[in-house]
Chains A and B, each alone.
Chain A
């Protein structure tokens, strides 16, 4: 890997910081006999262990919180996630570090950055609520209850998205009208749902920038968002509860890693550095010496680095998110297909509002589709044909046109679900 030395230096300083201040890392590195002062570009990959969510959940808070911090430290922000994989995590970080990470992330998209960094800007968030579904979206919650310190209004929505009542949709629309946000910070599936509801009511949402995160934007979600917003107003970005803002789409459409705030590694299945164009797991290390340093943290996100420079001028690497490894389609011959590759095949036909392709067995799939008025019998033939072209002519794809598809228990919506493999 060709690495800029300042980033590497910051990473190695973070390793030293973590070793000196974080019990989990001290114990782990001592056990492996790592001498932090001797680490360099050629040796850190062999010597430093990879970490993951379990390490942070198991050792939280005493093992992973840096010296000098406590959970009631006034500078810390709490972030709670039900987890994309259903594995929850509570994490804390210095609020200013998170803000700085967000600002550096937006550098590749000046339009978004302008809005995000303006004083007293207001954000509306529409995404899965992070709590048990019998507690969240309580009819008791008011706008004030859901207003965060940074000026973000969390809009009410049910945990199982498509069961959100018309009354709760009305309330979300009313609150948007009342709050007058400068920016939408949304899950794309959730936002596409809200836009369909706007459309049903003959209303128009405010023309403000939209950034989507939490889950990958499918082509059909993008199509529905772009029906209301020009391309310049819409950018995807990658974030996580643990890290904050990780990557953002530039005006040229590429998703750039936030290399000013993190040290990134793209690792292949053998945990070796992956080449551009190869499937890789995204591993992230923090470099800002915060309250919960993360070293070589495996996100579980599978990505592919894009070749070449971006016309936007950013030197930061750009990636495409292929999906979570647990959601890859596994064919009998060992071949895998990423959720992204499936989504590209399904595309964005104008009759389709939402879909879910679930793999039941190696050669057995269920494709559920929620369609709109433009749907006609056999509209789906091209989609099925595309899928069979990739997955094999003999695969059985059971098609169901439905009115409801359940969200994941994390509250997120998974468009492509690979076969469950017993571990």
Chain B
């Protein structure tokens, strides 16, 4: 038995990485907010493409090309079912970052336009907007939580676009996006959600949300790297200027003009990550088999367990430890007096086999505001148990005596 929620699942068999050793110590992988481990079924699906007749998609008439194109498009349908949207509202991207950039560069912003962002955003959901328009940044409170009163105040300044961070990659705290999006729509804003940290854990039904765009990556949900998703409402995708121009996204080309294909293909110039689509389909199938409701329970219980253990230790200071928040399985903390945590992260890895993350977590403005320097982050996924988290804190306790 690996954990209490997925009792029947043989994760050890499904994830060969869980059996890996570092100098004879079995690895405890707690860096899932960066990227998850990969199941055999996903890797097999990727291999199926590369070891088969690995044709391109939608270019030509060969039998193999049609088969490959079918599998590629079936992945789009699987994503559409996951999000409860239509197939043509799903654009394949490289990752979440590209999804944000596609929208930031594809919309027209005029001088004086404002974009509302959260100060706890990942750089990916911050920098692309910074280049396009004046930012209105929702501040955080001293405890690290987002000041939602400030969010609603800023909406009164009529931002053209509101970019919400569904779940923080630093704190694991989920924002109440339903009322936030509704309020943004009430002031006529285009709504955008960075769901990189939420889609891997929870069911997000875009038809029930007033969201125009939403983006996430496959590699944070058991899929391969190099493929991500941008969901966009049909009208929005139709109005968006394609980020890239080239093959596969036009109906007709003259010497001095061209005509774009219908959505979503107009936003997918060039040969896409075909093997990635095979892999993403397998990853979604794995997740569906586990059950998104069970995954959400796991996410919540692991998040609470992390917080409980962290709060028992006075040598740590958790970033956003506010009670009663909707919290997932991500937790970051600083160690007062230590601004650099490279050595601790290295020792946790090399001596204890624990893989976690240290640094500013691609959310530097937020981390700088709430920490004296670097933070250490642990993040769990379906194959992790409370035992993994407990082990992490026990190891940290051991180090405390000699390092801080």
Contacts and interface: CB of A to CB of B under 8 A. Distances in A.
Interface string A70-92: 00000000000010001010000
A134 B248 contact: yes
Interface stretch (A39-47, A160-168, A185-193, A273-281): A160-168
B251 to A, nearest CB: 5
B234 A139 contact: no
Contacts, number: 57
Contacts of B364: none
Interface string A129-158: 000111101111000000000000000001
A409 interface: yes
B85 A404 contact: yes
A406 interface: yes
Q: SS class of chain A's interface: helix, strand, loop or mixed?
A: loop
A162 B81 CA distance: 13
Nearest to A160: B87
Which residue of B70, B89, B248 has the most chain A CB atoms within 10 A of its CB atom? Answer: B70
Nearest to B207: A403
Contact of B262 (A137, A162, A404): A137
B127 interface: no
B88 interface: yes
A137 B251 CA distance: 11
B352 to A, nearest CB: 40
Nearest to B84: A402
Contacts of A409: 70, 73-74
A134 B265 contact: yes
Interface residues of A, number: 21
A165 B234 contact: yes
A138 B86 contact: no
A406 B81 contact: yes
A160 B251 contact: no
Nearest to A368: B81
A88 B63 contact: yes
Nearest to B71: A409
B259 A139 contact: yes
B234 A404 contact: no
A132 B69 contact: yes
What band does the interface of chain B fall in when counting residues whose beta carbon is under 8 Å from A?
A: 20 to 34
B261 interface: yes
Nearest to B266: A134
A170 to B, nearest CB: 14
B73 A133 contact: yes
A139 B251 contact: yes
Interface string B58-81: 100001001001100110010011
A403 B86 contact: yes
A137 B73 CA distance: 17
B58 A134 contact: yes
Contacts of A139: 251, 259, 262
Interface string A188-216: 00000000000000000000000000000
A406 B81 CA distance: 8
B73 A404 contact: no
A4 to B, nearest CB: 40
Interface string A48-77: 000000000000000000000000000000
Interface in A370-417: 402-404, 406, 409
A221 B262 CA distance: 28
A352 B271 CA distance: 40
A139 to B, nearest CB: 7
A409 B72 CA distance: 10
A160 B262 contact: no
Interface in B299-318: none
B58 A132 contact: yes
A388 B58 CA distance: 41
B87 A404 contact: yes
B210 to A, nearest CB: 15
A163 B86 contact: yes
Nearest to B58: A134
B77 A406 contact: yes
A140 B251 contact: yes
Contacts of A165: 234, 262
B248 A86 contact: no
A165 B207 CA distance: 17
Contacts of B234: 163, 165
A132 B67 CA distance: 11
B254 to A, nearest CB: 12
Nearest to B265: A134
A30 to B, nearest CB: 28
A403 B84 contact: yes
Given A139-B259, A140-B251, A404-B80, A132 B66 contact: yes
Nearest to B77: A406
Interface in B33-73: 58, 63, 66, 69-70, 73
B259 A406 contact: no
Nearest to B67: A86
Given A132-B58, A133-B73, A140-B252, A163 B207 contact: no
Contacts of A138: 251, 261
A165 B264 CA distance: 12
Contacts of A134: 58, 248, 261, 265
B9 to A, nearest CB: 15
B66 A88 contact: yes
Contacts of B84: 402-404
Nearest to B60: A132
Which residue of B69, B73, B74 has the most chain A CB atoms within 10 A of its CB atom? Answer: B73
Contacts of B259: 139-140
Given A135-B58, A140-B252, 18 more contacts: A88-B66, A132-B66, A132-B69, A133-B73, A134-B58, A134-B261, A139-B259, A140-B259, A160-B86, A160-B87, A163-B88, A163-B89, A403-B84, A403-B85, A404-B85, A406-B80, A406-B87, A409-B74
Give the 6 A-B residue pairs with the shortest CB-CB distance, closest first.
A406-B77, A163-B88, A409-B70, A404-B86, A134-B58, A160-B87
14 contacts: A88-B66, A132-B69, A134-B58, A139-B262, A158-B88, A162-B87, A163-B86, A163-B87, A165-B262, A403-B86, A404-B80, A404-B84, A404-B86, A406-B81
